[in-house]
Amino acid sequence: MTGSCASARDRATALQAEVQGGTEAQQCDSTSSAFKYRNRKVKVTALKISTEEPNSHQGNGEWLQITPGERFKVRTSVDETEGAYTMLEMVAAPRNGSPMHIHKNEDEHFIVLEGTLHIVNGDKTLDAPAGTAVTVSKGVPHGWCNLADTPVRMLLVFSPGKIEGLFKETAVRESDDIAALLDKFGVLIVGPALLEGIYTVFSPRA
């Protein structure tokens, strides 16, 4: 009996030593790995986030006004994409909007960054909060407005991007008659603003 107990103790002692040895080896490997990772050179490229306010560009010509209460800036130009698309940033004050219209040549994508955009897309009407993306296909009647008490800020992506010229030419026009411009860029007005009291390029703020 005594011999059996001693043998069992010996086996237990040997097993414990084996386990401890394995644990130490793992710790050593972990320490070695940690050391290697600590000494590895990692290249990190910081993401530059713009904190510019839209109004800060009013004086340098980068932001252009379409109609009082509505301004835009070209974020990615049609020239940069070789005609594939253009991306504009737009800020619209409360009660600003557009009449119902159709784009004959391009799809339009609305990406709401701040505020809530009230939009009609074909037979659908929705209020799109920040973080929402809405796609309007070529030839579909649509219109939008800002019914909130704060400005709405959004990205507009047109594909293809030739219509960028309409926004630029509207901003520098010398007349309130923009029918020729709309026709030039394939935009067809098919109805009034979504609600009464909405300011558009056809019924601007006083």
30/130 same-domain check: no
Q: At 69, which CATH number?
A: 2.60.120.10
Query: What is the number of domains present in the chain?
Result: 2
62/31 same-domain check: no
> For residue 7, what are the CA distances in angstroms to 12, 15, 18, 23?
9, 12, 16, 24
On whether residue 153 sits in a domain, the answer given is: yes
Residue from 84, 69, 79 nearest 153 by CA = 69
Average pLDDT of the residues of the chain: 80
Q: For 144-168, how does the pLDDT look when each residue is reduced to its tens digit (9 = 90+)?
A: 999 999 999 999 999 999 999 999 9
63/149 same-domain check: yes
10/72 same-domain check: no
* Predicted TM-score (pTM) of this structure: 0.71
As a whole number, mean pLDDT of residues 21-30 equals 43
88/134 same-domain check: yes
On whether residue 202 sits in a domain, the answer given is: no
Q: Count CA atoms within 13 Å of residue 165 on its CB side.
A: 13
71/173 same-domain check: yes
On whether residue 164 sits in a domain, the answer given is: yes
18/99 same-domain check: no
Range of the structural domain that residue 4 is part of: 1-40
pLDDT of 67 higher than 70: yes
pLDDT of 26 higher than 60: no
6/91 same-domain check: no
23/100 same-domain check: no
Whether residue 24 contacts residue 17, with contact meaning beta carbons closer than 8 Å, is answered with no
pLDDT band at 206 (very low <50, low <70, confident <90, very high): confident
Q: For 101-132, how does the pLDDT look when each residue is reduced to its tens digit (9 = 90+)?
A: 999 999 999 999 999 999 999 999 999 999 99
34/135 same-domain check: no
Write down the pLDDT at residue 107: 98
11/101 same-domain check: no
On whether residue 12 sits in a domain, the answer given is: yes
At residue 138, what is the residue type? K
Write down the pLDDT at residue 175: 81
On whether residue 205 sits in a domain, the answer given is: no
75/26 same-domain check: no
As a whole number, mean pLDDT of residues 168-195 equals 94
On whether residue 29 sits in a domain, the answer given is: yes
On whether residue 18 sits in a domain, the answer given is: yes
On whether residue 21 sits in a domain, the answer given is: yes
Token pair 């080896």 is found at 25
Write down the pLDDT at residue 38: 36
Q: Count CA atoms within 13 Å of residue 6 on its CB side.
A: 3
Write down the pLDDT at residue 181: 95
Whether residue 206 contacts residue 122, with contact meaning beta carbons closer than 8 Å, is answered with no
- Bond before 192 cis per omega within 30 degrees: no
